[in-house]
């Protein structure tokens, strides 16, 4: 599906949108419910990634295809490895077969798991024969993906002696690890995170409890971008959010102040207000703790004519696509000057915006969603726009609510 985006109406926006549940919290909650069936979940994400996770958990034998869902791939690897009697082949899209899993597989193998590679060593597809894991200590590199760590942490309380993780190197995407520990705490599992060591105590059964998934903060980032690119006085209300979020991307409420957007927390809603014009020429952020909002911020800066220097982006080349390369190519189509290296993106300030560009999305929902808000400044086309369903199937509908014109070509 190819879409043409524009914004014909008044650029002073006053609208409300309800956003689906966090995909990260959803996929964790689903895994915890599979381990502890008396957990209930509210506000599950309606995303493709949430659906493949649910479906994967319902299978005990045969092929589990998780398409593009990185968290589902990593979380299910740990889950199936620890489930005696279950035997599956875990596979995914072509891109998933290029996303590394060796660190997690080796950690699980050192705990006694039976996992073999079907095609290329270090990458899905993998064959898993579940068995009772008998080791309670494991050492693994922490600088490639936090998803490997979260996967181990979630199965940890179901192991007879819990689990002690010794993390080697600089820990990346730390808020996602804390989110996992936070959800474990909510179901009564005790853990300690000191320096590079995490200990999770065993918990054979949990009390009946309900996990309420907060709406997705990464999805909220596109509305922060819209607010930043709209006229002063615009107000966008988003639900359902809370001030003490488990999601690290809630740092948006601080970052977007730099772009003139103020956030107010009211009951279960956030109100984003374009309070003033942005006066900065350039900004710099280390996004090692919030890698999923790098694309959003780059497009916001470009739309405002600002420069940015974003660092801590070493995980971007192994996500749904090589996001650094993809951002450089697509931002340059709309007139930007961008430099990248293995962990950073630098955008030069410029006020020239090329209209009518066709943005490629590289099977990456965030490429499509990050460029959407730019329609407030110019007309653009988005190729393969259905990719948004990976985390936010209603994205284009919600943009229409805000006054965007979204035409199918």
- Catalytic sites, residue numbers: 292
- Residue 391 interacting partner from ligand S3P, ligand PEP, none (CB closer than 5 to 8 Å by kind): ligand PEP
DSSP lists the bridge partners of residue 273 as 235, 262
Smallest Cα–Cα separation from 331: which of 346, 319, 342, 318? 346
**For ligand PEP, which is the closer residue by CB, 36 or 75?**
75
Least separation in angstroms between CB 69 and ligand PEP: 5
Q: Are 5 and 382 in contact (CB under 8 A)?
A: yes
Check residue 295 for interaction with ligand S3P (CB under 6 A): no
Q: Taking the CB of residue 305, how many other CB atoms lie within 10 A of it?
A: 14
| 58: three-class secondary structure by DSSP | coil
Q: Is 33 annotated as a binding residue?
A: no
Q: Taking the CB of residue 376, how many other CB atoms lie within 10 A of it?
A: 23
Check residue 319 for interaction with ligand PEP (CB under 6 A): yes
Q: Which helix (H) or strand (E) holds 72?
A: helix 70-81
Check residue 292 for interaction with ligand PEP (CB under 6 A): yes
CA distances from 25 to 20, 47, 132, 217, 238 (A): 11, 12, 26, 11, 18
Q: Which stretch binds ligand S3P (CB under 6 A): 159-167, 170-178, 262-270, 347-355?
A: 170-178
DSSP at 401? H
Query: Burial level of 100, CB count in 10 A (0-12/13-18/19+)?
Result: middle
| Binding test (CB under 6 A) with ligand S3P, winner from 146, 230, 234, 250 | 146
| Binding test (CB under 6 A) with ligand S3P, winner from 260, 291, 303, 307 | 291
Check residue 176 for interaction with ligand S3P (CB under 6 A): yes
| Binding test (CB under 6 A) with ligand PEP, winner from 138, 159, 391, 403 | 391
Least separation in angstroms between CB 172 and ligand S3P: 6
**For ligand S3P, which is the closer residue by CB, 291 or 373?**
291
Site for ligand PEP in 16-75 (CB under 6 A): 68-71
Q: Give phi and psi for 179, each to the nearest 5.
A: -60, -45
**For ligand PEP, which is the closer residue by CB, 45 or 83?**
45
Residue whose pair of structure tokens reads 């993809």 in the numeric block: 326
Q: How many residues bind ligand S3P (CB under 6 A)?
A: 12
Q: Are strands 261-266 and 405-408 parallel, antiparallel or unpaired?
A: unpaired
**For ligand PEP, which is the closer residue by CB, 77 or 230?**
77
Q: How many residues bind ligand PEP (CB under 6 A)?
A: 9
Q: Is 22 annotated as a binding residue?
A: no
Gap between the Cα atoms of 324 and 353, Å rounded: 20
Secondary structure (DSSP) of 240-283: S--SS-S-GGGGHHHHGGGGTEEEEEETTEEEEEE-S----SEE
Site for ligand S3P in 38-77 (CB under 6 A): 71
Residue whose pair of structure tokens reads 């959003």 in the numeric block: 296
Gap between the Cα atoms of 113 and 163, Å rounded: 14
CA 346 to chain centre: 22
Q: Are 96 and 66 in contact (CB under 8 A)?
A: yes
Check residue 215 for interaction with ligand S3P (CB under 6 A): no
Site for ligand PEP in 320-339 (CB under 6 A): 320
Contact string 347-366 vs ligand PEP (x = CB under 6 A): -------------------x
Least separation in angstroms between CB 14 and ligand PEP: 29
Site for ligand PEP in 100-159 (CB under 6 A): none
CA distances from 82 to 99, 153, 291 (A): 22, 12, 29
- Which positions touch ligand PEP (CB under 6 A)? 68-71, 292, 319-320, 366, 391
Instruction: Give the residues lining the site for ligand S3P (CB under 6 A).
Output: 24, 71, 145-147, 150, 172-173, 176, 291-292, 315
Binding region: 23-24, 28, 70, 99, 145-147, 173, 292, 319, 323, 366, 390
- Point out the annotated binding site for phosphoenolpyruvate: 23, 70, 99, 147, 323, 366, 390
State the binding site for 3-phosphoshikimate.
Answer: 23-24, 28, 145-147, 173, 292, 319
């Amino acid at each position: 599906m190819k879409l043409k985006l524009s914004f014909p109406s008044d650029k002073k926006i006053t609208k409300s949108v309800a956003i689906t549940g966090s995909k990260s919290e959803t996929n964790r909650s689903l895994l915890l419910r599979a381990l502890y069936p008396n957990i209930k979940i509210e506000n599950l994400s309606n995303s493709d990634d949430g659906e493949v996770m649910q479906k994967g958990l319902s299978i005990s034998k045969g092929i589990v295809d998780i398409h593009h869902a990185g968290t589902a791939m990593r979380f299910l690897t740990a889950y199936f490895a620890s489930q005696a009697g279950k035997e599956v082949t875990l596979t995914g899209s072509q891109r998933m077969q290029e996303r590394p899993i060796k660190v997690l597989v080796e950690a699980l193998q050192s705990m006694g798991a039976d996992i073999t590679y079907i095609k290329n060593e270090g990458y899905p597809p993998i064959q898993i024969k579940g068995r009772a894991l008998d080791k309670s200590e494991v050492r693994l590199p922490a600088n490639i993906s936090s998803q490997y760590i979260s996967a181990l942490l979630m199965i940890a309380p179901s192991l007879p002696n819990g689990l002690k993780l010794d993390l080697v190197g600089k820990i990346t995407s730390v808020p996602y690890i804390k989110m996992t520990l936070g959800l474990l705490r909510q179901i009564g599992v005790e853990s300690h995170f000191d320096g590079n060591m995490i200990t999770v105590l065993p918990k054979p059964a949990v009390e009946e409890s309900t996990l309420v998934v907060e709406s997705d903060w990464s999805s909220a980032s596109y509305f922060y971008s819209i607010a930043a690119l709209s006229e002063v006085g615009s107000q966008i209300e988003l639900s359902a959010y809370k001030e003490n979020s488990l999601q690290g991307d809630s740092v948006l409420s601080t970052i977007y102040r730099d772009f003139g957007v103020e956030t107010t927390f009211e009951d279960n809603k956030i109100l984003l207000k374009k309070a003033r014009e942005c006066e900065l020429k350039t900004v710099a952020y280390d996004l090692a703790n919030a890698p999923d909002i790098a694309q959003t911020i780059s497009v916001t800066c470009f739309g405002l004519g600002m420069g940015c220097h974003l660092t801590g982006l070493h995980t971007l080349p192994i996500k749904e696509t090589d996001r650094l390369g993809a951002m450089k190519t697509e931002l340059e189509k709309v007139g930007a000057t961008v430099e990248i290296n293995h962990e950073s993106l630098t955008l030069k300030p410029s006020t020239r915006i090329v209209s009518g560009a066709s943005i490629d999305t590289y099977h990456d929902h965030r490429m499509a969603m990050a460029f959407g808000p730019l329609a407030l400044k110019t007309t653009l086309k988005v190729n393969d726009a259905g990719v948004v369903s990976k985390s936010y199937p209603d994205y284009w509908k919600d943009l229409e609510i805000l006054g965007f014109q979204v035409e199918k070509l």
